């Protein structure tokens, strides 16, 4: 068996998993919030202007082979022989009948979108690429431009012998990933497998509808800017459904930010009276609740030492300050922009 580099506990090993091929198994208990893998890219390639990438997630569409192949071949030639062998051991879901591989197919199947100095690249992280998909994963994965590393972090307790999983698609960002059938189609066409996670096997129409509602709220979020009361209701609905569907803390922390943003705008609009209005008091309670939930989720998703956690903590402190509502609202918007740009 090939062992994954031990970036941090726990010990991990690569095993053959029925119907999946190779996958990563935990050989000891993993508590929530543990770093599973933290890895610099083996290869990084600039994003083609004709390509489209879905956030920090795994899908790479319409990447132009003619554009990328020269860059890729140059990058591979610079790698040590052992590292090139590791590259060629990765899967290629683009090859006809899954027989034979191409360098381009390997990079397309296994790379993630990463942002470096306001530019987007394809980054290949061989240890992260070994981790299989689940629609209800036990790990959160993300790129941090300041460290130049891709991180996989546990979001729930993982028992010995349990597979490490991430989601290849974001239910908040990917518009056609809300239904079981669409997920299966995408995963088979792009990665060559059908998902058999609990969400797919125990599927129901109501779950599809709830996932669609969550995604639609996300898609329409900017449209609620002129109606913060409606925005808060939608964020609370999104939160309620995400909890019901077992969305992990990375997604929950983001939803909390929506609720805090809407709440502080309501507070700002309702301020100015000597006696706080009911609207102000309700939105203040909501801001307190969701800033607390966001801080907890952000700590689990990113860790206390991360820049993301520091921003969540700043938002938490700001909501509890005695500053004027307009000042709090402006600070919250500034922190939200920092999170988006990190």
What is the pLDDT tens value at each position of the chain, 342 positions in all?
Answer: 344 554 444 578 888 888 788 899 998 899 999 999 999 999 888 875 444 443 444 444 445 555 556 778 888 888 888 888 888 888 888 776 556 788 888 888 888 888 888 788 889 999 999 999 999 999 999 998 888 999 999 999 999 999 999 999 888 877 777 789 999 998 888 888 899 999 999 988 999 999 999 999 988 988 888 899 999 999 999 999 999 999 999 999 999 999 999 999 998 888 766 677 888 899 999 999 999 999 999 999 999 999 889 989 999 999 998 777 778 878 887 777 766 655
pTM for the model stands at 0.84
Residues 190 and 211 grouped into a single domain:
no
Does residue 122 sit in the same domain as residue 216? Answer: no
pLDDT for 99: 63
Q: Same structural domain for residues 210 and 173?
A: no
Out of 146, 178, 200, a domain closes at 200
Residues 188 and 267 in one domain: no
pLDDT of residue 290: 97
95 & 130 share domain: yes
7: in domain: no
Question: Within this chain, do residues 312 and 211 fall inside the same structural domain, yes or no?
Answer: yes
Number of domains in the chain: 2
Residue 89, domain CATH: 2.170.270.10
pLDDT reported for residue 1: 37
What's the rounded Cα separation, in Å, for the pair 178 and 180? 7
| Sequence-separated (6 or more) residues with CB below 8 Å from residue 213 | 237, 238, 241
Give the per-residue pLDDT at 8: 45
Question: Which of these three, 200, 217, 239, is where a domain ends?
Answer: 200
Q: Per the domain annotation, does 190 fall within a domain?
A: yes
Cα 43–Cα 44–Cα 45 angle in degrees, nearest 5: 125
The pLDDT value recorded for residue 41 is 93
Any domain includes 2: no
Q: Of 156, 179, 200, which residue is a domain's last?
A: 200
The reported pLDDT for the residue numbered 172 is 84
Q: What is the pLDDT of residue 173?
A: 78
Contact 150, 143 (CB under 8 A): yes
**Helical residues (DSSP H) of 15-125, grouped into ranges:** 65-77, 81-88, 103-110
Residue-number span of the structural domain to which 284 is assigned: 204-339
């Amino acid at each position: 068996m090939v062992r994954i580099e031990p970036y941090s506990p726990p010990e991990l090993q690569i095993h053959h998993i029925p119907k999946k091929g190779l996958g990563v198994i935990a050989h000891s208990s993993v508590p929530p919030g543990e770093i599973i893998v933290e890895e610099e890219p083996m290869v990084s390639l600039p994003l083609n202007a004709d390509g489209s990438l879905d956030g920090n997630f795994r899908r790479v569409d319409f990447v132009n082979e003619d554009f990328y192949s020269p860059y890729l071949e140059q990058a591979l030639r610079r790698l040590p022989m052992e590292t090139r062998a590791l590259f060629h051991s990765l899967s290629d879901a683009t090859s006809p009948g899954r027989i034979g591989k191409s360098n381009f197919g390997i990079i397309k199947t296994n790379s993630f979108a990463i942002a470096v100095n306001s530019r987007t690249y394809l980054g290949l992280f061989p240890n992260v690429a070994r981790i299989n998909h689940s629609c209800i994963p036990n790990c959160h994965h993300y790129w941090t431009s300041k460290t130049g590393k891709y991180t996989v972090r546990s979001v729930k307790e993982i028992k010995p012998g349990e597979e490490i999983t991430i989601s290849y698609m974001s239910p908040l960002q990917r518009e056609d990933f809300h239904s079981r059938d669409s997920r299966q189609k995408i995963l088979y066409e792009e990665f060559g497998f059908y998902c058999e996670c609990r969400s797919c096997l125990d599927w129901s129409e109501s779950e599809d509808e709830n996932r669609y509602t969550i995604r639609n709220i996300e898609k329409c979020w900017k449209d609620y800017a002129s109606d913060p009361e409606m925005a808060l209701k939608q964020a609370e609905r999104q939160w309620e459904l995400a909890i019901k569907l077992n969305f992990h803390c990375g997604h929950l922390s983001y939803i909390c930010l929506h609720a805090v943003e809407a709440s502080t705008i309501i507070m700002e609009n309702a301020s100015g009276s000597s006696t706080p209005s009911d609207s102000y008091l309700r939105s203040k309670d909501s801001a307190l609740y969701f800033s607390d939930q966001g801080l907890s989720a952000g700590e689990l998703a990113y860790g206390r030492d991360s820049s993301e956690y520091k921003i969540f903590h700043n938002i938490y402190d700001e909501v509890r300050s005695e500053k004027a509502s307009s000042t709090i609202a402006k600070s919250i918007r500034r922190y939200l922009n920092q999170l988006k740009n990190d």
